[in-house]
Structure 1
């Protein structure tokens, strides 16, 4: 994982080094702490200049400083992981492999064919010297951040970067749309003194309704561009082939029926045993096992493709136990993180710990006392049974706050989930990292770090989720050792997250609302829209947040094979929203969890991180998630 940046300007306009903000450089270095260097390319006869800045987090093969330049003056910046599609040997570095393949491309079609073949998250910047072309873009889901600043009519300097900085002056940074790959003709840019973007869009098929569909994409991207920057379709109408198949929108009359189970009784008797009724049907059980296989392979790719010291044979289990965790999971104890942790256990070398990162924001004392006197809901009561009063004892050494103030819902379900994982594999070292955040520290870190990483997003929801993920992925907290909590900081460079499960398997409460209003056809449209907007709504932000700690976010539920498998199924095979919460949403995932040994966590209903960690209760209870968040705009006068 890397921080990549490129600045392009006309030689007569600026000293190019002045255009790269030192604060942006600082953020880029945090993403790539293992190597940092810059390269300036001046093309005197055309009077344009490019600055390339690369910052590398070493995860694979030998440390490969960026940017790379070859004998033909091509330059490459890569922030990605190749999990399939292009062969990368055990001791090879995927940046070098990709650069080699790009150098062999003789046409635009060759470049598009190469990127269409990739599986894995990526963003890139590629300067093709012979054609004075600058190529850049993000993968189909937008799992790696890339921002652009397009200048104005007077100052046509153009910037690309993995992460920027928030400015109250409004510097007009935007996320590069994950709509395809873009190209700039630098020769034309230097001649006309104006910027023009060419788009090569993602399509399932480049023959069916090509022109009509492409025009829609162009219109969608163009509406967010300044008027002086035209966006055009490439002359040859070339497209990238989408790495996943289209969503199956089949709706059968039998949808919603529960094989082998009386649906009316299920509504009143939600239990782990309820799931067994579904698994008694052979067709359902076969689908569940196919899902387990494809998801397990996705997790395997994400926990084995990384550097583990001197043992470079990453596909084999090292013979000597390794006491340093290389893999961490953002962990709430809910169904998504439990499944990822359980599957990681199948593939992470046996002597290696797995870090479970569990974040909690301090409960306001008044709210805490109120919750003690109020009657628990039946679900909270279940959690108390799962994990009876195992609240942290004593004081937080750093803050002096009593640890029981951090017994938020995700801490309770997290502890219960830990017990389930220990039952599945008692020989594994499971580091349950209790990460405790006070209001004071939240305000401080938001101002110094998190607001810049969330930017250019700016809503209350972005703030809540962004702050929760930043503290969780930092991994600083406590682990229990022989009954005593000890300070601990996770060394893991890879952080697995469950994002993508709710979007594909109808996990959000809004999906139930949609289903009630519009039925399965409406739900299908909603799920298609969810996956289509996940790049702009979630993934760029989460990559910037997690990358700030010199760690890499990996998303098993958004593996191309996982998405294609789920897209192949009708909605009735994935979820049944006629059934209650804790069963109907993400049904196929719950059945998979039941099959490989999870218990109480299989029926926990969805609880968003901002509520489970209690960050949403810490500062203001009178905001809507979609409101612009004023806290992201506050700065110290120091």
Structure 2
């Protein structure tokens, strides 16, 4: 994982510094703490100048400083992981492998074919010296961040970077759309004094008919957020990238019907683990579930084994279990997504290696009381929402582990329950349940210091809540239980697994039930198709910036190309059944998989959003909507860094 940046200018000397400053450099170095260097390329006729800045986190092979430069003067910046499609040996570095393959490309079609073959997350910047062109882009899902900023005038230059800082100027940073790969002819731009972007879009099949309307839609989508003086054009040859996944199966069978059932009660009391066993009694359903387990397990395997372990097997065998360090962590709430990811990681992470379960909780406010309402709660739900006594929230002595009931938020309780299930599945594994406790004071401090810059350019209340929760969770600083006593612990794991993508593909959000109730399965299919189309702009760039800030890499098993293609091949009725109650109907195929993996109570936990389960949404008691612009993200200045 890396922090990459490129600044291109074709006028004044100081223009590079207009885009690239010490604050951006600081954020880039945090992403890549193992190697940092810069390279400046000036055209022979002085018509343009490029600054390339690369910052490397070593995860595979030998440390390979970036940017890379070859004898032909080509320059390459890479922030990605190749899990399939192009061979990368166990001791090889994928940056060097990609650069080698790019150097062999003799045409635009060759470059597109190479990137179409990749499986895994990536963003890149490639300077092709012979053509005076700059290529850049993000993978199909946008799992790696890349931002761009353009000067006020067409001839003043532009910048590409993994992460930036909040800007109050008119030249706002934006995420590079994950709509395809972009190319800029630097020589032509310098000559005409007019910057023009050329797009090579993603398509499921480049042989499809009626490509013009599709190209037009992509152009309109990308162009709407560009400055008026930056034109975007389709490449003249109408070349495209081949999407790494198949299109969504929108088949609606007669058996599944198109409308929700009105005869099924949504009473939570009807949900039980035994309900899942009834589905698994059907041979066809059980076969599909095991196919799903197999493909998801392979995705997890690729993500937990494709990393450098700084101990050989002999050394690891002689060290005591308590002294071995974790290389893999899971963002862990005890919910169905993180439980399945942890259970599958257990199958592939070497047995003597701990797995860190990162569980974040925000301190419950003193004055918040459980108010009586007409809403019915189960005893379990009431217990989860109980707040600590007023006196126990005062003078919190974190080091002594005192008064930790202040952090007994819903995700903490389900996390502890989930830990017991995992320990039952494999008692030989060391499971480090990391209790990460965040006070309002620390939240405000770290938001002001760095989190708001990482969330930027996103700016909603939801982005703030999720961004802050993920930042503290992935930092991994908390406590683990040692013989019944909580002791400080800082997770050393460089790979952080997250369950994002499960809800988007398996109808896990409450809005999916609303959509199903209004529009039936046809409407739900459209909603799920839209979820993956927008996941790059809503979630993944932000999450990559947040987790990468700790010198760690986010990996997303549910967004593995093989997993997405498998789920896309199934009709919606095989993946979810929203006529069934919460805790069963949404993500049904995942719940059945969890049951087959030996999980118990966690298989029927209803979806609970991170911002509510961790209680960050209640900490500041703001009467806000998730989609509102968040003033807390803007209440700072860059100088505060």
Partners of 1:17 and 1:51 within 8 A in 2: no
Cα distance in 1 between the residues matched to 2:450 and 2:113: 38
Q: Which residue of 1 aligns with 2:524?
A: 523
Q: Which residue of 1 aligns with 2:350?
A: 349
- Could you tell me which runs of 5 or more consecutive residues in structure 2 were left unpaired when the two chains were aligned: 387-391
Partners of 1:147 and 1:173 within 8 A in 2: yes
Q: Which residue of 2 aligns with 1:585?
A: 586
- Could you tell me which runs of 5 or more consecutive residues in structure 1 were left unpaired when the two chains were aligned: 386-390
Cα distance in 2 between the residues matched to 1:229 and 1:399: 57
How far did 1:583 drift? 0.1
Inter-CA distance 441–525: structure 2 relative to 1 (3 Å threshold): same
Cα distance in 2 between the residues matched to 1:623 and 1:185: 45
Q: Which residue of 2 aligns with 1:604?
A: 605
Inter-CA distance 137–154: structure 2 relative to 1 (3 Å threshold): closer
Inter-CA distance 222–556: structure 2 relative to 1 (3 Å threshold): same
How far did 1:384 drift? 9.9
Give a deviation string over 1:169-214, Cα, whole Å, max 9, x none: 3531000000000000001011011110000000001122211101
Cα distance in 1 between the residues matched to 2:257 and 2:417: 31
Aligned ranges for residues 97-496 of structure 1 at < 5 Å? Answer: 97-153=97-153, 156-208=156-208, 209-255=210-256, 269-311=270-312, 319=317, 323-367=324-368, 376-380=377-381, 395-397=396-398, 402-496=403-497
Q: Secondary structure at the match of 2:341?
A: helix
Q: Which residue of 2 aligns with 1:388?
A: none
Q: Which residue of 1 aligns with 2:48?
A: 48
> Normalised by the size of structure 2, how large is the TM-score?
0.94
Aligned ranges for residues 537-556 of structure 1 at < 5 Å? Answer: 537-556=538-557
Give a deviation string over 1:96-133, Cα, whole Å, max 9, x none: 00000000000000000000000000000000000001
Question: Which range moved further: 398-407 or 466-475?
Answer: 398-407
How far did 1:167 drift? 2.3
How far did 1:245 drift? 0.1
Inter-CA distance 248–15: structure 2 relative to 1 (3 Å threshold): closer
Cα distance in 1 between the residues matched to 2:369 and 2:539: 31
Cα distance in 2 between the residues matched to 1:371 and 1:425: 42
Q: Which residue of 2 aligns with 1:69?
A: 69
Q: Secondary structure at the match of 2:184?
A: strand
Partners of 1:46 and 1:191 within 8 A in 2: no
Give a deviation string over 1:559-589, Cα, whole Å, max 9, x none: 0000000000000000000000000000000
Cα distance in 2 between the residues matched to 1:114 and 1:320: 43
Partners of 1:180 and 1:202 within 8 A in 2: yes
Question: Which range moved further: 344-353 or 613-622?
Answer: 613-622
Partners of 2:266 and 2:582 within 8 A in 1: no
Q: Secondary structure at the match of 2:590?
A: helix
> Normalised by the size of structure 1, how large is the TM-score?
0.94
Inter-CA distance 99–90: structure 2 relative to 1 (3 Å threshold): same
Partners of 2:363 and 2:439 within 8 A in 1: yes
Cα distance in 1 between the residues matched to 2:361 and 2:193: 52
How far did 1:278 drift? 0.3
Aligned ranges for residues 8-23 of structure 1 at < 5 Å? Answer: 8-12=8-12, 14=14, 16-17=16-17, 19-23=19-23
How far did 1:398 drift? 5.2
Inter-CA distance 211–15: structure 2 relative to 1 (3 Å threshold): closer
Inter-CA distance 518–420: structure 2 relative to 1 (3 Å threshold): same
Cα distance in 2 between the residues matched to 1:219 and 1:68: 34
Inter-CA distance 70–116: structure 2 relative to 1 (3 Å threshold): same
Inter-CA distance 400–299: structure 2 relative to 1 (3 Å threshold): closer
Partners of 1:317 and 1:349 within 8 A in 2: no
Cα distance in 2 between the residues matched to 1:547 and 1:533: 21
Inter-CA distance 263–547: structure 2 relative to 1 (3 Å threshold): same
Inter-CA distance 281–466: structure 2 relative to 1 (3 Å threshold): same
How far did 1:366 drift? 2.1
Inter-CA distance 238–157: structure 2 relative to 1 (3 Å threshold): same
Backbone CA RMSD of aligned residues = 2.4
Q: Secondary structure at the match of 1:273?
A: helix
Give a deviation string over 1:260-288, Cα, whole Å, max 9, x none: xx966997521011100000000000000
Q: Which residue of 2 aligns with 1:613?
A: 614
Q: Secondary structure at the match of 1:141?
A: coil
Partners of 1:292 and 1:592 within 8 A in 2: yes
Question: Which range moved further: 612-621 or 393-402?
Answer: 393-402
Inter-CA distance 401–437: structure 2 relative to 1 (3 Å threshold): farther
Cα distance in 2 between the residues matched to 1:475 and 1:371: 36
Cα distance in 1 between the residues matched to 2:445 and 2:145: 24
